[in-house]
Amino acid sequence: MLYKKIAKPVLFRMDPEKAHHLTIDGLHTVGKLPGGKALLNGMYGVPNYSELETTLWGIRFRNPVGLAAGLDKNAKAVPGFSSIGLGFMEVGTVTPKPQPGNELPRLFRLPEDGALINRMGFNNVGIETMAEHLREAGAHTIPVAVNIGKNKVTPNEQAEEDYRACIRGLYAYGDFFVVNISSPNTPDLRNLQHGDDLSRLLAAVKEEMKLQQQKHGGAEKPILVKIAPDLESEEVAYMVQTIVNSGVSGIIASNTTISRAGLTHKHKGETGGLSGMPLTERSTKLVHDIYAATQGKLPIIGSGGIFTAEDAYAKICAGASLVEVYTALIYEGPGLIRSLNEGLRALLRRDGFKHIADAVGSAHRR
């Protein structure tokens, strides 16, 4: 209520990217203040509900609702985001070297469509500064994933070296890692989703993860692949088989879309990736198709257009073990996280499930 009545009207009168930076800086500051994290948790925290707790890859998630990559690009506000009820979060996308991203303006709100369009272009501070931020954040109170990409100037033939560099520089700071090969805002990046390019990249990534595990000790950390929603069924089937064969730990479905179907806002013609409500059904169908193609054997994180508990639940029933939000958080505020979790509890009770894991993939068993 506080967000919608006070903060949102102010933020939505500002340029979207300036509002974004103000939000991240604010969460960063509050997270560092004495009592700041407790204040955020008191306002927005979610109780620990046993029926929503999930363990994947040996990592405990106290609830299935996480933050998608792109909001805390530089891991600047990890303590703050960790205190608003999220079950986990992604930071990044980070690239080996800092890069400014694309020219301004590059972020657009489409309120009538419940959507955002961005063409940020992996603007980030690079792995060295992100490592500093994660060191300063201290011990994680929720799992933190590091989303990694390649620099714009790096040709696809050398992309694996950028992904390796990100893993080497940040392995000690992430609980798991996400290979981003599906942003539409870095030229030719999506070509890495296909064929031999994908096989080579994932083999290199897996090898580097193993090398870092041997160096740092402990269990090998999970690594997931984030894919685009703009794929034909045949492409999905082939890509999923390649991903399964690579031995990675899971798939995030999905990134933003380049489709503009059904949009009404004046910004609908802007170039970039579209997120929010127009992506809801498309990303849920992709989750469904991946789960069917893998027979439920490869964990999926569902992302795209989750505004309500019903949206999240549809992805879980389609096969997602965890879900992520981004655009809805901009429109609804941090109270969204509690609302989604309470709604999921009610939906589990309605359908007679004792635990969230019982609902995962249930649409395939009806």
Residues marked active site are found at: 183
Alpha carbon 50 to chain centroid distance? Answer: 23
- Contact status, residue 313 vs residue 347, Cβ threshold 8 Å: yes
Q: What is the dihedral of CA 273, 274, 279, 282, to 10 degrees?
A: -40
> First and final CA of the chain: distance in angstroms?
38
3-state helix, strand, coil in the chain (%, to 5): 50, 15, 35
Are 255 and 202 spatial neighbours (Cβ–Cβ below 8 Å)? no
> How many Å apart are CA 90 and CA 98, to the nearest integer?
18
Q: How far apart (Å, rounded) are the C-alpha atoms in residues 211 and 337?
A: 36
> If residue 141 lies in a helix (H) or strand (E), which one and from where to where?
none
Q: Where are the beta strands (DSSP E) in 24-149?
A: 54-56, 59-61, 65-67, 88-94, 107-110, 115-118, 144-148
What is the four-CA torsion angle of 120, 125, 131, 137, rounded to 10 degrees? -70
**Nearest alpha carbon to residue 290 among 315, 313, 309:** 315
Alpha carbon distance 160, 179 (integer Å): 10
CA atoms within 13 Å, Cβ hemisphere of 137? 28
